[in-house]
Each structure stands twice: as structure tokens, then as C-alpha cells.
Structure 1
Amino acid sequence: MKQRSYLALEGITVEFPTKSGPFCALDKVDLNIEKGQFVALIGHSGCGKSTLLNAVAGLNTPTKGVIFLDGEVIDRPGPDRAVVFQDHSLLPWLTVEENVALAVSKTAQGKSRNEQRDWVMHNLELVQMAHAAKKRPGEISGGMKQRVGIARAIAMQPRVLLMDEPFGALDALTRAALQDVVMDLQARLNNTVLMITHDVDEAVLLSDRVVMMTNGPAARIGQDLAVDLPRPRGRLSVIDLPAYADARSEIIHFLHERYRNPSLAA
């Protein structure tokens, strides 16, 4: 019997109906991610990154192909895959604590009310937001809201954490602070993460692998680059390493040259 990776995408093709016929967003994508790996998806707008992420989340059903998570077929949304979107999607009438508690209550698995509250606070502490537990989203900054969104996702103890450009709407300093939070969480929790980004430096800093997509339609994986940087990572300790510069150069080369000719990226 074939030994699959922890998260295995096999021959994933996604087509959407249009007035002029089917539009092929993804064509025969194969991707294997091991448990505990952090993988970044990068590519130009319209290359199918979100379509691929949504397929793993169970929000899109592949036209062809199968997705396996720990040997089980994924064909619908589930709490074993938590998604952090660019928009934090917090409920404005609930406090920070209540927003996280809402997710925890759906995955509590026999925890008492006190145990659930302790778990909520533990995850808020991980993202340095316990001090704002009683505040509502309208009373905190955009970066703080996104921290709460991350806390809500990891509080569900998902087998895979999916992140769709989670820092794209933030200013540079806030973005850097949240990248540090994610690196710290990765070091502590060893989560399996699939993240979409448009930021080359972010991809290199956070990831074990950077998966580069060719331009759509019928997008495929053009290159799968291993990032050979030690963990745990510190921003200042890795940016001057030759491996950082090499990975950054490889990605920029792909995005600005190879994507222009699909045959070079095959």
C-alpha cells in the first residue's frame, strides 16, 4: 500500500463553470506535506493559491483528484483544519475571550466550563492577548484582532493550520511582529501549516518549503523550494545567512522570469 505524506494532494484539478464553458483554475496539482512542516504558497494573483487552500479546507470540491489528511479523505470542512483569513472575521458583539471560546466550545471534547476557559486564556497568552480578553473587536487594533484570529484557530487544536495572507492588510511593523508570533508558535507547537503569501521575505523567514505556482488558468506547481534555515529562527539571526539570500533569490527569479514561460516552470 502506498505510504502517503501527512497531508497529500493527489492530482487536484479544480474547474469552475462559466458562461463560456469550464474555467480550469488548478490542473493536476500534486503536493505532499509532512507533519509539522510549514509550507508557504506563493505566486502571482490569479494563480490558484486560494483555490488550493480552500480545497484543503474543504470549501472547494476538486473536480478531479483526492486530498488525504493522515490517511483520511478530505471532502468537506472540519475542525481538524482551521483557517486564518486576511480578514480576522471576529464577531463584533462578542469580547475577545468570547470569540475564542465560541471556537473552543465546538471542539471541547469533554472539557468542563472552567477547563474551556483556561484553554481559551492559554491560547490568548500564546499570542500575547490575554490582557485584552474583555475587550470587543472594535476596541483593539487590526494587528491585535489578527492575533485573536490566530488564537481562535490554534485553540481548536487543528491537525492543519491554513493561513490565507493573514498579514496582508497590516502595516510593516505590525506584520513583522505577527510573523514573530507565528515563528514562536511554530517553535512551541510544531503545527503543520499551509500559508498563502505574496511576500517573498515572509515566505523565506517562516517556511520550511516555499511552493511556487505558475500563472493561471490551469495553474500548477512550478517549483518546490526547501528553505535550509535552522529552527528556532530569529529574524536578525537568519537574514544575513547565505541560505536566506539564496532562497530569496530563487523565489524572485521564478516570480519575475520563469513564470513568463510556463515550459520553464514545469
Structure 2
Amino acid sequence: MKQRSTLALENITVEFPTRNGLFCALDNISLNIEKGEFVALIGHSGCGKSTLLNVVAGLVKPTRGVVFLDDQVVDAPGPDRAVVFQDHSLLPWLTVEENVRLAVDKTTPGKSKAERRDWVMHNLELVQMTHAATKRPGELSGGMKQRVGIARAIAMNPRVLLMDEPFGALDALTRASLQDAVMAIQAQLNNTVLMITHDVDEAILLADRVVMMTNGPAARIGEDLAVDIARPRARLAAMDTAEYAASRHAVVHFLHERYRNPVDQAA
């Protein structure tokens, strides 16, 4: 029997009951992601990207199909899958260190208090936030809060990191800084990452593959594009390559020619 990929989505269909009958959000989606691979999921609003991410997270149960993580069925949330949302979801009454430690305490009960604190500070160092360990979220900028959210997620030492438009609410300069931070962290930790984005350049810069979704309802995977740019990637150098230009053209063509925004089509 052929061994499955680290993360294997097999024939995932998701239907929701409505007043007018069943609404099919995702139709028969299969996707394989290998250990250490960074996959970006892109498509127009309403194509089911977040629904698919929530299926992997165990927050939504598929109507049909199965998700496997290291050959184990995924059917509920678990610490082996950490999620970074667009909203950082930090607890405002806790400090930065305490917010990260909350996740560490839940996922590493066998470590001593000193070991857990060292692990918290190690992960804050990865996102360059040790200087703000004693601050509370209200004292931080949006980008700093998201760095802490990323530290909290990777501190769980998950087998898969799930990111749902983590930089969507940030300004361009902060977004670029966090993209660079994620690339550096992924290079160091060799995380397996599935990230949702609406940003074509972000997808190509960060990902090994860009998976493009068709429009909903009954969305499917329309194209799975390998991004053939060597790692480690420096932003400006990568953007100047022919491979970057070719990948960008392919994604833009898919989104704006083959599968235009349904709102634009109706206009």
C-alpha cells in the first residue's frame, strides 16, 4: 500500500443545510502536502478556502471524504494543528509572554515551569518579540500582535501550521516584514504549512505550491502550481526571476481570465 503524504485530503465534500436545500461549498477535493512543504490556497471570496482550512483544523466535519495527518484520521481539533487567524485573538488581560505560555502549558504538560518559560521565550525570539514579553496586547501594533499570534502557534510545536489570511488586515510594509519573518521561521523549523491568501505575490513568494480554487458553490481545485524558485528566497531577488514572473502570470490568468470574480461577472 502506498504511504500517504504527511497531510492527505481525500475526496472532501462539504454541504450545509439551508432553507432551499443543501448548499455544496466544496466538491470532491483531494490534496496531498508533504512534510516541510508550504502550500498557499488562493481563490475568490466565497470559494470555500476557509471552509477547507477549517476541515483540516477539525473545526468543520466533511459531509464526505477524510483528512489524514500522518495516516491518522482528523475528525476534531488538536494541538498537532495550530491555526493563525487574521484576528490575532490574543487575550487582552494577559502579557505577551502569558499569551504564549497559555498554549505551551496546554501542549507540554511534562516540562517544568522553567523549561516552559524558556520555550516561550525561544518562540518569541523567533518572531523578534522578546523585548515586548511583559507588554499587553493593547500596547502593541497590529503587526506585533500578529507576531505574537504566530509565536503562540509555533510554540505548540504543531505538525501542521494553518494560516487563514494572517496578514490581510496589515499595511503593506508590516505585511512584507511578517512575510519575511514567516519565510525565516519556516526555513529554520521546516514547518508544514497550509496558508490561505488573496494576495498573488504573497502566495508566490512564500509557497512551494499555489493551489487555485474554482468559484463556489461546489468549489474544486482548479490548478495546482509548483513554484520553482530556489530557497532560501530573498524578496527582491526572487521577484526578479523568470520563474517568479511565470508563476505570477499563471495565477493571475487563472483568477482573472479562467475564473473571474463572480461579482465582476454579474456587473
The alignment's TM-score, normalised by the length of structure 1, stands at 0.97
1:17 is paired with a residue of what secondary structure? strand
1:25-58 Cα distance to aligned partner (Å, 9 max, x none): 0000000000000000000000000000000000
Cα distance in 2 for partners of 1:159, 1:72 equals 12
Cα distance in 2 for partners of 1:19, 1:153 equals 37
Cα distance in 2 for partners of 1:211, 1:177 equals 24
Which residue is equivalent to 2:22?
Answer: 22
Which residue is equivalent to 2:191?
Answer: 191
Cα distance in 1 for partners of 2:131, 2:51 equals 36
Residues 153-192 of structure 1: matches in 2 within 5 Å?
153-192=153-192
Cα distance in 1 for partners of 2:2, 2:188 equals 31
Cα distance in 2 for partners of 1:259, 1:200 equals 14
1:121-141 Cα distance to aligned partner (Å, 9 max, x none): 000000000000000000010
Which residue is equivalent to 2:201?
Answer: 201
Cα offset for 1:237? 1.5
Which residue is equivalent to 1:65?
Answer: 65
Which residue is equivalent to 1:39?
Answer: 39
Quick one: which amino acid aligns to residue 259 of structure 2? Y
Cα distance in 1 for partners of 2:259, 2:27 equals 16
2:15 is paired with a residue of what secondary structure? strand
2:254 is paired with a residue of what secondary structure? helix
Cα distance in 2 for partners of 1:158, 1:14 equals 25
Cα distance in 2 for partners of 1:260, 1:79 equals 37
Which residue is equivalent to 1:228?
Answer: 228
Quick one: which amino acid aligns to residue 135 of structure 1? K
Quick one: which amino acid aligns to residue 170 of structure 1? L
Quick one: which amino acid aligns to residue 122 of structure 1? H
Quick one: which amino acid aligns to residue 143 of structure 1? G
Cα offset for 1:12? 0.1
Quick one: which amino acid aligns to residue 199 of structure 1? D
Which residue is equivalent to 1:264?
Answer: none
Which residue is equivalent to 2:115?
Answer: 115
2:146 is paired with a residue of what secondary structure? helix
Cα offset for 1:236? 1.4
Cα offset for 1:251? 0.1
Cα distance in 1 for partners of 2:11, 2:109 equals 34
Which residue is equivalent to 1:135?
Answer: 135
Cα offset for 1:109? 4.1
Cα distance in 2 for partners of 1:210, 1:109 equals 37
Cα offset for 1:3? 1.9
1:176-234 Cα distance to aligned partner (Å, 9 max, x none): 00000000001100000000000000000000000000000000000000000011111
Cα distance in 2 for partners of 1:254, 1:130 equals 42
2:56 is paired with a residue of what secondary structure? helix
Cα distance in 2 for partners of 1:258, 1:237 equals 29
Cα offset for 1:260? 4.7
Cα distance in 2 for partners of 1:233, 1:194 equals 18
1:172–1:260 distance in 2 versus 1, CA, 3 Å: closer
1:83 is paired with a residue of what secondary structure? strand
RMSD: 0.9
Structure 2: gaps (5+ residues): 262-267
Cα offset for 1:2? 3.2
Quick one: which amino acid aligns to residue 14 of structure 1? V
Which residue is equivalent to 2:8?
Answer: 8
Cα distance in 1 for partners of 2:145, 2:177 equals 13
Which residue is equivalent to 1:251?
Answer: 251
Cα distance in 1 for partners of 2:109, 2:228 equals 38
Cα distance in 2 for partners of 1:127, 1:6 equals 26
How many residues align? The count is: 261
Quick one: which amino acid aligns to residue 169 of structure 2? A
Quick one: which amino acid aligns to residue 256 of structure 1? H
Which residue is equivalent to 1:216?
Answer: 216
Residues 68-147 of structure 1: matches in 2 within 5 Å?
68-147=68-147
